[in-house]
């Protein structure tokens, strides 16, 4: 009898296909053991279950997904998009269709998008190009968005952390730009080539620089997202990435505080309004020549909201939301998002991306509520079942006599709260939980040795600066200057070796949640970051790099250490532990995090998911296993989480040994052997090289071609109630001329474009004239049997006929030898 254990075998689905199975959840949100997976996809939920402590919930009952729990808007849109996808994406532009097929065929992209990514972009395309304002699903979502966003239309894509929303943003920019540069529309614009990507801070902003098509490490080339023939056009996109703080209104009055008081100036009257602030920040984007309106993309969009009623959100969260939302509203009011529709919306939609697009301020006991304008939903549970992310494991039981699981709510169960770095042992249960998690880290470290160039990473999140600094010194060691240095209590994380010397590369770093705000850094954090970068500057052999490192300000040094964790050849390469105040900054995308310890209060489930999300990115997508019926499944990776009351499926501590990642091998050239280099081009398609002289059809080279009558009528008889009849049909002359022109235009487009100097040898007009004449001669040839030329434009014959005509054409000045040479050049690869 087959057994089902979601704890040891949680992955069910192929990541490149729509999920078709899911685990049944209990009332606390965990997968029920010994229950076969349910068939089909899990419905989208407006609110998800809050996991409960097993000691407080003795009975596991199946969670009943009632109608009230389901997000009907997402379900309806999901159904329409699924049908549209299976029908071959009808109703879109030619460019859009080419992109959609390119993304859906795994052998087209270097890194094919996962289904979660494809579904997100397909949903946005369907809403903009296929659905009309009268389509029920689009009308409903836009009415809801206007109601919650002061008339602004927003589409939110919910994607679990680690499922690849950056790639979806890139596909969005590509879809919009490639359509915009080729359109002649002047009204009802659906596409644009100007984009502003708004982020919550510098860390995210720096990570998203890859969205610029001309960036050396751009994501388009890394993943192969763009067909080669269209890649050069993408460079016309104008992408500005900015953090929302740039939209804070400035004071126009250039005066000191004393002068202000003397002049009795009301500060509010001298501050620029929101429109001026937005236009100041985006001046170049607004004034520059480009097609279409501005497209706004919000990353981590749960920070951008308009409060509807008193909430429990903190003051700084409200202020951030106000600045962000007012910037978008200002762009709308100034007309930069397009003409405002009668219903209060605007032509250019605002696109939101977030793993947690939920209203901030929801209490921990309540179920978090999604933004009402979410249009697609690929939540954490779906991502786990598809193998896209690590599986988080948290404590739900222990061997103590307490009514609650102690390590689950670690901070609330620890007394006293203050950490003393000078003590050999921390207070319980903090001490035992840190050491147990470290012991598991040691096993993972050993399993990873010699497999990856960088080590696994453990995150420690503390409630305050004082406790973060205390934990850092207890873990990593302390001392400085001429005085003695004390090694840390956890050997693998100690920055001080057994002889009292600093390691050249830091193993543990201390960061602040306000890493983007230099003024908020404490002297100890700032000094430590500067000191660690200085030590790395002495370690590196790159003199210019060392000079740049020494010239950095403390905030820059801290961000460098933080953002290079897990990156080979960078200052943070050998970091094994990160101690953070409050929470790690969003956008930190390290894929080698394996352990998380939370020593702070978690007021909301949203916060639990955000902290846990820092550990969810997989370290490898190369570990595959074959399932039944050829179903491919990734092998699971785990993140061990202690002190964060959040969990979806398995328990902690882990019952199995750490999973070894597949080894990575660096392939590089041997110095001094450049002359032996062999380049293997990636050929996407073949295009014909334009001839140097006029083309003529050679009757001797025409091959037999027969077309059977089509099933569709080309004429009909009309009759009225009195019996009179009228025969109507398409004129033979009109039909024949249309076919010749359409086929000739198709063949002209099959030649290489003007980017190749040889393509300029003859004008496209002359080439069209030659091919139009050749098509007529081919239709009249005795080897060609076609009862109705219009049939040649059908899908079955269109490409075949074009190829047959071109193969029968010759260059009028070719000799026999030259002709053979030209035939060898007739097809050229696009690489």
CA distance 13 to 632: 7
Cα–Cα distance between 53 and 177 in angstroms, integer? Answer: 49
**Measured distance CA(141)–CA(148) in Å, rounded:** 11
Least confident of 75-84, 338-347, 476-485, 762-771: 338-347
Can you say how many angstroms the Cα of residue 314 is from the centroid of all Cα atoms in its chain? Answer: 28
Q: d(Cα 696, Cα 801) in Å, to the nearest integer?
A: 16
* For residue 93, pLDDT beyond 70: yes
- The pLDDT, as a whole number, for residue 763 is 64
Nearest Cα residue to 125 out of 99, 153, 158, 151: 99
For 34-38, 483-487, 510-514, which range has the lowest pLDDT when averaged over its residues? 510-514
Q: Which residues pair with 378 in a beta bridge?
A: 159
Tokens of 92: 């879109």
pLDDT band at 624 (very low <50, low <70, confident <90, very high): confident
Place of tokens 């409200």: 318
Rounded to two decimals, the pTM is: 0.77
pLDDT tier for residue 482 given thresholds of 50, 70 and 90: low
Which of 76, 174, 198, 181 has the alpha carbon at shortest distance from 125? 174
The set of residues, in sequence order, having a beta carbon less than 8 Å from that of 259 and lying 6+ positions away, is: none
Determine the pLDDT at residue 439.
92
**In the predicted model, is pLDDT for residue 333 greater than 50?**
yes
pLDDT band at residue 423 using 50, 70 and 90 as cut-offs = confident
The domain over range 72-378 is classified in CATH as 3.40.50 = yes
Confidence of residue 342 (pLDDT cuts 50, 70, 90): low
For residue 346, pLDDT over 90 is answered with no
The percent of residues in the chain predicted with pLDDT above 90, rounded, is: 35
With contact defined as beta carbons under 8 Å apart, do 730 and 714 qualify? Answer: yes
482, exposed or middle or buried, with CB in 10 Å at 0-12, 13-18, 19+? exposed
Is the confidence at residue 517, as pLDDT, over 60? no
Count of C-beta atoms within a 10 Å radius of residue 246: 15
Summarize the confidence of residues 308-331 as an average pLDDT. Answer: 76
**Residue 64, pLDDT score:** 46
Question: Which pLDDT value is given to residue 244?
Answer: 92
pLDDT over 70, % of the chain: 74
Instruction: Measure the CA–CA gap between 208 and 194, rounded to whole angstroms.
Output: 16
Mean pLDDT of 508-537: 70
Q: Which residues pair with 508 in a beta bridge?
A: 577
Q: Can you name the residues that pair with 25 across neighbouring β-strands?
A: 31
The better pLDDT of the pair 544, 573 is held by 573
pLDDT-based confidence at residue 658 (cuts at 50, 70, 90): low
pLDDT higher for 55 or 142? 142
230 pLDDT band, cuts 50/70/90, is very high
Is 60 exceeded by the pLDDT of residue 256?
no
- Spatial contact of 56 and 74, defined as CB atoms under 8 Å apart: no
For 489, residues 6+ apart whose C-beta sits below 8 A from its C-beta are: 424, 474, 475
Structure confidence at residue 638 as a pLDDT band (50, 70, 90)? confident
The 10 Å Cβ neighbour count of residue 704 is 10
pLDDT tens-digit series, residues 462-471? 988 899 999 9
Q: Which two tokens stand for residue 738?
A: 């249309």
Q: Which residue has the higher pLDDT, 719 or 340?
A: 340
Minimum mean pLDDT range among 5-9, 215-219, 396-400 = 396-400
Higher-confidence residue of 259 and 17: namely 17
Question: String of b and e for 456-473 (b: at least 16 CB within 10 Å)?
Answer: bbbbbbbbebebbbbbbb
In the chain, the N- to C-terminal Cα span, in Å, equals 53
Report d(CA 14, CA 23) in Å as an integer. 15
Q: Using an 8 Å Cβ cutoff, are 51 and 645 in contact?
A: yes
Question: Which of 214-223, 532-541, 746-755 has the largest mean confidence?
Answer: 214-223
| Structure-block tokens of residue 262 | 């003397």
Structure tokens at 300: 């981590």
Please classify residue 94 by burial: count the beta carbons closer than 10 Å to its beta carbon, then call 0-12 exposed, 13-18 middle and 19+ buried: exposed
Residue 812: pLDDT band with limits 50, 70, 90: low
151 phi and psi, to 5 degrees? 85, -5
Instruction: Give the C-alpha separation, 167 to 720, whole Å.
Output: 59
Residues 141-163 have a mean pLDDT of: 93
* Per-position b or e across 436-454, b if 16+ CB within 10 A of its CB: bbbebbeebbeebeeebeb
Instruction: Judge whether 579 and 510 are in contact, CB under 8 Å.
Output: yes
Q: What is the mean pLDDT of residues 295-310?
A: 84
| Nearest alpha carbon to residue 803 among 747, 736, 734 | 747
For residue 278, what pLDDT band results from cuts at 50, 70 and 90? very high
Q: What is the pLDDT of residue 253?
A: 59
pLDDT computed for residue 775 by the predictor: 92
Integer-rounded Cα radius of gyration of the chain = 32
Q: What is the number of other CB atoms lying within 10 angstroms of the CB of residue 542?
A: 11
- Using DSSP, state whether 155 is helix, strand or coil: strand
Is the pLDDT higher at 146 or at 58? 146
Q: With 90 as the cut, is the pLDDT of residue 441 above it?
A: yes
Per-domain boundaries in the chain: 72-378, 410-501+508-513+577-601, 685-830
Angle between helices 274-281 and 315-333 (to 10 degrees): 80
| Average pLDDT of every residue of the chain | 80
Q: What's the confidence (pLDDT) of residue 67? A: 42
pLDDT band at 815 (very low <50, low <70, confident <90, very high): very low
Angle at which helices 523-539 and 465-476 pack, to 10 degrees? 40
Give the tens place of pLDDT for each residue, 95-148. 999 999 999 988 888 899 999 999 999 999 999 999 988 899 999 999 999 999
Give dist(CA 777, CA 701) in Å, integer.
12
The DSSP letter of residue 207 is H
Tell me what the mean pLDDT of segment 181-187 comes to: 73
Span 574-623, pLDDT tens digits: 999 999 887 676 777 788 999 999 999 887 766 777 788 888 899 888 88
């Amino acid at each position: 009898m087959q057994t089902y254990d979601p704890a040891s075998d949680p992955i069910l689905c192929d990541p490149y296909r729509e999920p078709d199975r899911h685990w049944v959840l209990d009332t606390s949100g965990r997968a029920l053991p010994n229950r076969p997976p349910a068939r089909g996809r899990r419905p989208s939920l407006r609110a998800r279950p809050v996991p409960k402590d097993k000691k407080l919930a003795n009975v596991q009952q199946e969670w009943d997904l009632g109608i009230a729990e389901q997000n009907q808007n997402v379900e309806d849109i999901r159904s329409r998009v699924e049908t549209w996808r299976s029908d071959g994406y009808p109703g879109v532009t030619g460019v859009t269709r080419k992109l959609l097929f390119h993304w859906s065929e795994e052998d087209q992209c270097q890194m094919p998008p996962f289904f979660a990514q494809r579904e997100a972009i397909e949903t946005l395309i369907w809403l903009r190009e296929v659905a009309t304002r009268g389509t029920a699903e689009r009308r409903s979502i836009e009415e809801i968005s206007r109601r919650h966003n002061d008339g602004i239309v927003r589409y939110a894509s919910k994607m679990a952390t680690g499922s690849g929303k950056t790639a979806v943003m890139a596909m969005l920019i590509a879809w919009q730009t490639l359509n915009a540069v080729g359109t002649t529309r002047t009204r009802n614009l659906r596409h644009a080539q100007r984009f502003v990507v708004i982020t919550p801070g510098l860390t995210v902003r720096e990570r998203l620089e890859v969205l610029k098509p001309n960036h050396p490490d751009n994501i388009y080339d890394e993943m192969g997202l763009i067909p080669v023939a269209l890649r050069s056009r993408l460079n016309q996109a104008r992408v500005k990435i900015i953090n929302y703080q740039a939209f804070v209104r400035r004071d126009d009055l250039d005066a000191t505080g004393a002068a202000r008081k003397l002049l009795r100036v009301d500060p509010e009257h001298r501050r620029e309004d929101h429109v001026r602030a937005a236009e100041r920040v985006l001046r170049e984007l607004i004034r520059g020549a480009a097609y279409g309106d501005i497209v706004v993309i919000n990353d981590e969009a749960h920070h951008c909201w308009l409060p509807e009623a008193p909430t429990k959100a903190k003051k700084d969260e409200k202020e951030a939301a106000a600045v962000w939302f007012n910037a978008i509203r200002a762009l709308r009011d100034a007309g930069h998002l397009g003409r405002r529709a009668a219903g209060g919306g605007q032509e250019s939609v605002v696109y939101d991306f977030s793993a947690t697009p939920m209203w901030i301020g929801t209490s921990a006991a309540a179920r978090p509520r999604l933004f009402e304008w979410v249009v697609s939903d690929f939540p954490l549970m779906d991502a786990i079942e598809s193998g896209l992310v690590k599986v988080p494991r948290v404590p739900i039981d222990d061997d103590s006599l307490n009514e609650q699981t102690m390590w689950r709510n670690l901070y609330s169960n620890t007394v006293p709260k203050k950490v003393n770095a000078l003590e050999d042992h921390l207070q319980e249960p903090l001490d035992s939980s840190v050491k147990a998690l470290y012991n598991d880290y040691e096993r993972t470290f050993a399993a990873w040795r010699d497999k990856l160039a960088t080590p696994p990473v453990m995150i420690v999140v503390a409630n305050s600066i004082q406790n973060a600094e205390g934990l850092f010194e207890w873990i990593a060691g302390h001392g400085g200057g001429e005085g003695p240095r004390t090694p840390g209590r956890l050997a693998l994380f100690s920055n001080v070796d057994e002889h009292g010397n600093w390691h050249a590369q830091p193993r543990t770093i201390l960061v602040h949640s306000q890493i983007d705000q230099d003024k908020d850094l404490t002297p100890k954090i700032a000094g430590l970051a500067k000191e660690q970068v200085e030590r790395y500057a002495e370690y590196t052999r790159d003199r210019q790099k060392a000079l740049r490192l020494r010239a950095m300000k403390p905030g820059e040094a801290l961000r460098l250490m933080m953002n290079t964790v897990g990156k080979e050849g960078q200052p943070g390469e050998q970091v094994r532990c990160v101690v953070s105040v409050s929470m790690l900054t969003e956008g930190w995308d390290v894929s080698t995090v394996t352990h998380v310890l939370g020593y702070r209060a978690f007021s909301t489930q949203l916060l639990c998911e955000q902290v846990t999300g820092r550990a969810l990115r997989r370290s490898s997508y190369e570990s595959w296993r074959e399932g039944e019926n050829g179903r491919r499944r990734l092998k699971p990776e785990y993140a061990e989480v202690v002190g964060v009351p959040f969990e979806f499926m398995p328990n902690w501590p882990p019952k199995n040994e750490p999973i070894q990642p597949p080894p990575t091998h660096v392939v590089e050239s041997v110095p001094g052997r450049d002359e032996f280099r062999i380049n293997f081009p990636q050929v996407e398609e073949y295009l014909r090289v334009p001839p140097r002289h006029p083309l003529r059809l050679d009757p001797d080279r025409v091959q037999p071609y027969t077309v059977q009558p089509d099933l569709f009528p080309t004429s009909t008889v009309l009759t009225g109630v009195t019996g009179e009849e009228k025969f109507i049909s398409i004129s033979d002359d009109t039909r024949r001329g249309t076919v010749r022109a359409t086929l000739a235009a198709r063949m002209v487009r099959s030649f290489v474009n003007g980017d190749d100097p040889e393509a300029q040898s003859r004008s496209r007009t002359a080439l069209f004239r030659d091919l139009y004449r050749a098509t007529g001669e081919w239709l009249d040839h005795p080897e060609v049997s076609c009862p109705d030329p219009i049939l040649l434009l059908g899908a079955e014959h269109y490409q075949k006929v074009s190829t047959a005509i071109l193969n029968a054409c010759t260059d009028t000045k070719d000799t026999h030898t030259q002709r053979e040479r030209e035939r060898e050049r007739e097809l050229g690869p696009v690489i």
